[in-house]
Structure 1
Amino acid sequence: MSQGNSTPANASTLSSTSPFNTSDKNRLNSVLAKPRLAAIAVTLRNNEVLLVQRSKEPQRGTWGFPGGSVEPGESLHCAAKRELMEETGITALVGPLIDVVEVIGYDPEGSHHHFALVALLCHYVDGELRPGDDAADCRWAKVINGKLNFNEALADHVADTVVKAFNLHSLIVKEKSNAIHSSNSAF
């Protein structure tokens, strides 16, 4: 900033440095999808993670986590729990945030999509697997040494998110174990 002036020295040039003029931005906004917030339920059961096969675009046919758009007024945790039930018939405890993954691209028909996927760590409680809603199939996949052991086509970021989920799960288990041991040693 210039001394004695509350306006940054380059304030007048900021708007002119944008790569798009107003008509370009309006044209892009009419073609590009607005970002959509979605919750995904990364659900663990022992050394397994729950995956669903997508029946719709984007990434139709690939395997990923149950999840979908957050409804107006709905919390991320409630959205993850609802989507998990709708797509798999499973109930789970919804826990902490694992990661936020941004997916931007085009489907085979040329439609643009932009999602902010909030991955939440979930722990299986009850239910028998049954694909529903926009899941073509669902199954438990083995995780060995923190890595997904699954030979089907995966949606973007699934393998990385599984590693992060199991690392977070291990950290939580370790912290709980330490808390139990430290409270027992006080006696």
Structure 2
Amino acid sequence: MVAGEVRRIRCVGAIVRDSSGRLLLVRRAHDPGRGQWSLPGGKVESGESDAAAVIRELREETGLAVAVGARVGQVERLAPTGVYEIHDYACAVTSGDLRAGDDATEAAWVDLATFTTLERSNRLVDKLADTLRAWRSLPG
């Protein structure tokens, strides 16, 4: 890395809905965002594609298998050693039973009323609500 260059850490996230339009969220077990609700996802490992990372992270954090669809958008968040570059993808559940695991203390299908309550009580990771609103990806 060149001096003065910011380290970019590639990450992925998943926007997953159930048949009722509820959005899949996880409560983070570790920093960044410990204790707050977020989209499931995480770092892309060396040599791994975004799709493979999304599939792995969803299985680890929620117990669900997913089919990865189109990229919905990208956000950047400050990291302790650089910047997280997060690419979020629309996904559909193909199998599995929802359970929290790995970097999640809880996993839940969240409707708009619950999402709004989480937002108003500052229990969502920073800028999640604004980002999903801009992407027209709020829960139903």
* TM-score normalised according to structure 1 size: 0.62
Larger-Rg structure: 1
More helix by share: 1
Cα gap change, 1:131 to 1:102, in 2 (>3 Å): same
Mapped pair 1:166 → 2:127: no
Secondary structure of 2:125's match?
A: coil
Of all paired residues, the percent bearing the same amino acid is 33
Aligned residues: 132
1:121/1:165 contact within 8 Å kept: no
What root-mean-square deviation, in Å, do the aligned CA atoms of Structure 1 and Structure 2 show? 2.4
User: Mean Cα displacement is larger for which, 119-128 or 83-92?
Assistant: 119-128
More strand by share: 2
Cα gap change, 1:87 to 1:165, in 2 (>3 Å): farther
User: Structure 1 segments of 4 or more deviating over 2 A?
Assistant: 147-152, 160-163
Greater relative contact order: 1 or 2 (C-alpha under 8 angstroms, separation 6 or more)?
A: 2
* TM-score normalised according to structure 2 size: 0.81
Gaps of 5+ in 2: none
- 1:156 positional shift: 2.0
Cα gap change, 1:90 to 1:156, in 2 (>3 Å): same
- 1:130 positional shift: 1.1
2:7/2:81 contact within 8 Å kept: no
Distance 2:55 2:116 in 1: 25
Cα gap change, 1:126 to 1:160, in 2 (>3 Å): farther
| Cα displacement string for residues 93-144 of structure 1 (whole angstroms, at most 9, x for unaligned residues) | 2100111000015xxxxx4452000010112222211111111111110037
